[in-house]
Amino acid sequence: MIRGKVVIAQDICKGCELCITSCPQESLGLSDKINIKGYRFVELVKDNCTGCVNCALVCPDAAITVYRQRKEVFKANQNMKKAV
């Protein structure tokens, strides 16, 4: 599966959890810590993000940046696995 990762602006996050609900991989969860605004912020809790962007789409605070593995890197990794 193609890999992704998210970077969450933790000081901007208001912990509304809409991203958590929208994540098909259940990769996101609320932190036990609180941010500068006093909200428990969202963080990546599982290393299975696919970079589908759903979380960023529903984020009301534009707090989420999504990365995805570049196709050529993904293909190279696949080929390497096959070779192994």
- Tell the residue number behind the tokens 């599982």, with chain if given: 46
| DSSP letter assigned to residue 6 | E
Q: Which of 46, 67, 75, 78 binds another protein (CB under 8 A)?
A: 67
- On whether the CB atoms of residues 27 and 54 are closer than 8 A, the answer is no
Q: Which of 32, 70, 83, 84 binds another protein (CB under 8 A)?
A: 70
| DSSP letter assigned to residue 14 | -
Distance of CA 37 to the CA centre of its chain: 21
**Is 84 a binder of another protein (CB under 8 A)?**
no
**Is 30 a binder of another protein (CB under 8 A)?**
no
Interface residue list for another protein (CB under 8 A) = 3-5, 7, 9, 11-12, 14-18, 21-22, 37, 39, 51, 53-54, 56-62, 64-70, 73
